[in-house]
Amino acid sequence: MFAVGSLRLCSHTRSDFTTHRARATVKFAFALLGISEISDSISRLSAGTKDLIRLVLALMALKLHQLKSKATQLSQVASKHGTAYYRQLLEENKQYIQEPPTVEKCSLLAKQLFYTRLASIPQRTEAFRKELDCVKHTWKSRKDLKVEDAGIAALFSLECFAWFCAGEIIGRGFTFTGYYV
């Protein structure tokens, strides 16, 4: 036998004491959180697995409780200061507000935006053709191209590729290796 603090333990009961302490901690956490229905479904598992599951569930419940309290605090702050921010935002941008602010007016504005953009297609295609002609002219006279212009074009191409890669990574859910399956 040996002494640990004020407790005297045999070497073969040390794991029993640790298990008992873990169980007591988990039971206390469950009691604080008011969880009793999970204990019945766990009773068929072995002691080590039960403790692990209870501990994991207790930790998840504690985190959930913390998130709930933080969400409550955020909700209170938003309700307290949200209306003031809303009023300030409307006051600063009142020149853009259409009167009367109704659903029908919003529908009318959406239609106006759509048909305005549709009407601007000829101007945009003409601007695109001019840009394309400029690129063709530059390609034809590439022997007269300065190193500085070639470097700028290379950096622009590299930036476009980098933004493409960033979009792909974001689209895959922020993974570098592939899509989640």
CB-based contacts of 7, cutoff 8 Å, min separation 6? 17
**Confidence (pTM):** 0.38
Inter-helix orientation angle 47-92/14-33, to 10°: 40
- Among candidate residues 17, 22, 31, 32, the one with its CA nearest the CA of residue 56: 22
Q: What is the pLDDT of residue 25?
A: 60
Rounded Cα distance between 79 and 3, Å, is 57
DSSP for 2-64, written as a single string: EEETTEEE-GGGHHHHHHHHHHHHHHHHHHHHT--HHHHHHTTS-HHHHHHHHHHHHHHHHHH
Query: Which neighbouring-strand residues pair with 3?
Result: 8
Q: Where are the domains of the chain?
A: 2-76
The one-digit pLDDT tens for each residue of the chain (181 residues) are 344 444 444 444 445 555 556 566 656 655 555 555 555 445 444 556 666 677 777 777 888 888 888 888 888 888 878 788 888 888 999 898 888 889 999 999 999 999 999 999 999 999 999 999 998 998 898 888 889 988 998 999 999 999 999 999 888 888 877 777 6
Query: Hey, what are 175's tokens?
Result: 């993974």
What DSSP character marks residue 39? H
| Cα 40 to Cα 177: distance, rounded to the nearest angstrom | 42
3-state helix, strand, coil in the chain (%, to 5): 80, 5, 20
